[in-house]
Amino acid sequence: MRGSLRVVVVGGTGYTGAEALRLLAGHPGAVVVGATSERQAGRPVRESCPWLASDLILEPFDPAKIDADVIFLCQDNGFAMQHIDALVRCGRVIDFAADFRLRDADTYADWYGRPHVAPHWLNDAVYGLVELTDAAQLRAAQVVANPGCYPTACLLALLPLVRVGLVEGLPIIDAKSGVSGAGRSRTETDYLFTEVTGGFRAYGVERHRHTPEIAQALGRPVRFVPHLIPATRGIHATIHVPVGAGVTTEQIHDVWRETYAGRPFVRVVNFWPSTKHVQGGNSAFLRASVDPETGLATLVSVIDNLVKGAAGQAIQNMNVMFDLPEATGLPVGGVWP
Helices (H), the chain: 15-24, 45-48, 79-87, 105-112, 135-140, 149-163, 193-196, 210-218, 249-259, 312-321
- Assess contact for 235 and 179: CB atoms under 8 A: no
Active-site amino acid positions? 149
Please give the Cα distance from 326 to 264 (Å, whole number). Answer: 8
Gap between the Cα atoms of 25 and 136, Å rounded? 27
Name which of 59, 77, 57, 55 is nearest 10 in CA terms.
59
**Measured distance CA(236)–CA(274) in Å, rounded:** 7
Q: Which residues contact 216 (CB under 8 A, 6 or more apart)?
A: 101, 102, 103, 107
Q: 7 by DSSP, 3-state: which?
A: strand
